Structure formats: C-alpha cells, structure tokens
Chain A
Amino acid sequence: MPPSSTHHSPVLSVVEASLTAPRVPDVDWSILMARAQGGDAVAYRRLLEEIAPYVRSLAAKWCREPDQVEEIVQDTLLTIHAIRQTYDPARPFGPWLAAITRRRMADQLRRNGLRRQREGPLTREHETFPSTQANNPEDAPERRALGLAINQLPLGQRQAIELLKLREMSLKEAAVTTGMSITALKVATHRGLKALRKLLAGGEVR
C-alpha cells in the first residue's frame, strides 16, 4: 500500500497511484522517525536509507535529469533533518514525507525555470568564439596591418616573431625549427618587436 490512503491531495494521489512498489512500510517509518526524534541515530540512519529510494522514485516522476533527481533527494533529506521536530508520530509518515518532497521538487522546477531564463543553449557561433581568428570581424583590418608589417621585417626577425609570438612555440622548439640559437632568437624577437612597434605606430603599412 502507498503511505496513506486516508490523506489525499491531488498530486500525492497521482504519485501514489503510479507507484507500483507494493510495500511502503509507513508504520515502520513512523516508529523509526519517533525514535530519531528521541536521538536514536541507528533508527534515523535506517529511516533515511529506506526513504531515499522512495523519494527518488517520487522525484523521478517529475524530473528526468539524474543529477537533479539526486539533488531533490538530498534537499528532501536535509529538510527532514531541519524540521524533524514537526513530525507527529500519531499521523501517517508517508504524506508528511511526500509533502516535503513536493516542496523540494517545486524548488527544483523553479530553479530550472530560472536557469532557462538566464542561460541559452550553446550554438555553432558560440563554439567558434574561443578561436579568435575565426570570428571577430572587427579585428580583421588590424590583423591585416600586422601581417603586412611582419612581412616587412628581415627574415630572421620575421621567423622569430611568427614562431614565438604567433604560434606560441617555446624557445627550444623554435630553436630546433629554425636552427638558430636560443640567444639569437631572443635578440631577433626583441628587435622584431621593436621594429614592429615603430612600423605600426608610424602607420607606414596602413
């Protein structure tokens, strides 16, 4: 039998009706909860372990994401812990538990609604953003100017700038690629940057 057939709210009865598990030991849970109120940690742990799958099955009816279902389960357990003094052992435990679960499910749905308002799905345009060269058309003239300026540099400096700054190689890798020594690369980069600064500031290439 579902928790209680005497105390019906519409949502609960839907949940109850759809619950195929035949055995929900409502009376046992009442007793365990009453002991937990007295400070019996063993009874309390048993109660929480037994109700967690039941809460999970209630939550799974409303929510498909396993993460969110688990979040509802944990929120429900935390709420039960916070307001355990409000349970009256003379009343059935099932409706008390189901009502708390419903509140936490409503919270979760509200959070989902807020998230939908705030966040949009990732589209193709979003995916290209990390590679800056692919989009940001505003940068195109500057990139072109930079490309032209680099082309005006002497070969050694051009290589050093392209490998170290544009392709972001390490000094060692660049040394292997070009056959230049690390010191020579450093010097070439330094001179190259200085020349570029002059070229771009002077506006000779624009």
Chain B
Amino acid sequence: MIPTPDLIDLLAARLTPVRRLRGPMTRAAQWLLLASMVTVMLVVAHGVRPDFWQCLLDQSFVVGTAASVGTGIGAALAAFLLSLPDRSRRWALSPLPPLAVWLSMIGYQCLSNWVAFDPDGLRWGEAARCFSTLVMVSLPLALTILVMLRHSAPLRSALATLMAGLSVSAITATVLSLIHNPDASIMVLAWNLGTVAAIIGASSTIGRRFMGLAFARG
C-alpha cells in the first residue's frame, strides 16, 4: 500500500476534465425514448397482432399492458437513480406496485409451446419465434442501459442492475404483447432476470478487475 499523500499526488496528476452526467431523470427519459423507438420500429415491421383491436376492448389486456409499461418506466427511473451513490435505496420500491398488477395478469402460454406438430411435420412452435423477437428487443435495450449505468460498477450496485433488467423485461413483454397472440411475459421475465443474475454474479466475482480498469482509464 502506498502512502495516502502519494496516492493523492498520483490522482491529482492524472486528473482529466470530465463531462458531468446529466440528471438521472433526463438519462432515464433518453433511454425510454430509445425503448419506445425500438417498440415502434418492431410494431411497424411486424404489424400488430391480428386481434389487437379486439384486445383493446378487453379490460385485462389494457390493464396488464399499462402495468407492464408502468413497471418498465418505474424500474428505469429506479435504475438510473440507484446508480448514483447518494440516492435512497427506497427508489427500488417504485416499480413494485405496477409489477404486482402485471404479474397478476401474466399468462404462461408461450412457455408451453416450443415445438408444434402439424400435418406437415415438426416445426418451430410459437415459443421459438417469441424467443427470437424477445432477444431482438431486449438485447439492444439491455446493452444500452448497462453502458449508461457503467459508472455504477465501482459502487457494485446490484440493485441498479436488477432494476435495469426488470425494466428491459417489462418493455420487452409489452412489445411482445402488442405483436404476438400468446402472452410471453413469463418467458421474458425468466430470460431477462436470468441474464441479470448472470451479470450480477459475474460482476461480483470480477468486479475488482473492472474497478481496476475504470481507474486505469480515469
């Protein structure tokens, strides 16, 4: 261990100007804008589900979709707030009410239908197509939010990462519910939260190394 005054000299010598981060609300809004752009692009490319207009009359569909959108927004805000050291951890509670509503409306049809038997033979079921859409939506969103939250790595903010994963899940599920018949929410949640668990596990084991990298760059 070098003496602390020497460390201070070293850090002062390596000081470079940094661009201050924008406020967490602004950054969350930027990311949500990206998410809505992805949603719009997919809906335009893929088209809404055949029974979309009927669904709009179905109260449970409307409430469930609103709840998943709410979860996505709440969790995104919480993730950006919690990535800063001095914000209250209670922000993590903010997506819970819409999450509870959303989970209470989730179906599990998608999980039960991976392969379909047709007169023509075996073919990929709805689940497989669901899954490819899922990856297409959640991957870019997850990568963007993790890059935007990278400064929280030295703080080891597992909670912020968890919130980010929840937000990506909720948004992906919303997109899928707009373009697919079967409700894929369970699969979406399992995929995204599984990814988050993997990220948190990896970062807690190699967290120190990442920190070292951050310092080397700084």
Q: Which residues of A contact B (CB under 8 A)?
A: 7, 9, 36-42, 44-45, 48-49, 52, 67, 70-71, 73-74, 77-79, 81-89, 91, 95-96, 98-100, 103, 107
Q: Is the CB of A67 within 8 A of B1?
A: yes
Contact bitstring B77-112, A, C-beta under 8 A = 1, else 0: 000000111101000000000000000000000000
Q: Is the CB of B218 within 8 A of A52?
A: no
Alpha-carbon separation in the docked complex, A23 to B14 (Å): 29
Question: Which residue from B4, B21, B83 sits with its C-beta under 8 Å from A73?
Answer: B4
Q: Is the CB of A85 within 8 A of B151?
A: yes
Given A49-B8, A74-B7, A77-B11, A85 contacting B86 (CB threshold 8 A): no
Measured CB to CB, the nearest residue on chain A to B9 is A45
Pick 28 A–B contacts, CB within 8 A, sort by A.
A7-B86, A9-B88, A38-B17, A39-B16, A45-B8, A45-B9, A48-B11, A49-B8, A67-B1, A77-B4, A77-B11, A78-B211, A79-B211, A81-B14, A81-B215, A82-B151, A82-B154, A83-B154, A83-B214, A84-B218, A85-B19, A85-B21, A86-B21, A86-B83, A88-B20, A88-B21, A91-B86, A103-B156
Question: Which residue from B17, B20, B83, B211 sits with its C-beta under 8 Å from A82?
Answer: B211
Alpha-carbon separation in the docked complex, A8 to B124 (Å): 55
Q: Is the CB of B85 within 8 A of A82?
A: no
Given A39-B16, A44-B12, A86 contacting B84 (CB threshold 8 A): yes
Task: Answer yes or no: B45 CB below 8 A from chain A CBs.
Answer: no
Alpha-carbon separation in the docked complex, A9 to B91 (Å): 13
B1 to chain A, nearest CB (A): 7
Alpha-carbon separation in the docked complex, A99 to B16 (Å): 23
Question: Which residue from B8, B9, B11, B151 sits with its C-beta under 8 Å from A83?
Answer: B151
How many residues belonging to B are interface residues under a CB distance threshold of 8 Å? 33
Which of chain A's residues have a CB closer than 8 A to the CB of B86? 7, 91, 95-96, 98-99
Task: Answer yes or no: B202 CB below 8 A from chain A CBs.
Answer: no
Which of chain A's residues have a CB closer than 8 A to the CB of B17? 37-39
B201 to chain A, nearest CB (A): 16
Alpha-carbon separation in the docked complex, A98 to B86 (Å): 8
Task: Answer yes or no: B155 CB below 8 A from chain A CBs.
Answer: yes
Measured CB to CB, the nearest residue on chain A to B18 is A85
Alpha-carbon separation in the docked complex, A82 to B155 (Å): 10
Task: Answer yes or no: B15 CB below 8 A from chain A CBs.
Answer: yes
Q: Is the CB of A83 within 8 A of B155?
A: yes
Task: Answer yes or no: B13 CB below 8 A from chain A CBs.
Answer: yes
Task: Answer yes or no: B194 CB below 8 A from chain A CBs.
Answer: no
Task: Answer yes or no: B23 CB below 8 A from chain A CBs.
Answer: yes
Q: Is the CB of A81 within 8 A of B218?
A: yes
Alpha-carbon separation in the docked complex, A89 to B155 (Å): 19
Q: Is the CB of B12 within 8 A of A48?
A: yes
Measured CB to CB, the nearest residue on chain A to B23 is A88
Measured CB to CB, the nearest residue on chain B to A38 is B17
Q: Is the CB of A37 within 8 A of B7?
A: no
Q: Is the CB of B1 within 8 A of A100?
A: no
Measured CB to CB, the nearest residue on chain B to A71 is B1
Which of chain A's residues have a CB closer than 8 A to the CB of B215? 78, 81-82
Q: Is the CB of B155 within 8 A of A103?
A: yes
Which of chain B's residues have a CB closer than 8 A to the CB of A86? 21, 83-85, 151
Alpha-carbon separation in the docked complex, A67 to B5 (Å): 15
Given A83-B151, A86-B84, A86-B151, A36 contacting B4 (CB threshold 8 A): no
Which of chain B's residues have a CB closer than 8 A to the CB of A67? 1
Which of chain A's residues have a CB closer than 8 A to the CB of B18? 37, 84-85
Which of chain A's residues have a CB closer than 8 A to the CB of B152? 83
Which of chain A's residues have a CB closer than 8 A to the CB of B1? 67, 70-71, 74
Alpha-carbon separation in the docked complex, A36 to B155 (Å): 20
B122 to chain A, nearest CB (A): 51
Q: Is the CB of A82 within 8 A of B12?
A: no
B81 to chain A, nearest CB (A): 12
Which of chain B's residues have a CB closer than 8 A to the CB of A82? 151, 154, 211, 214-215, 218
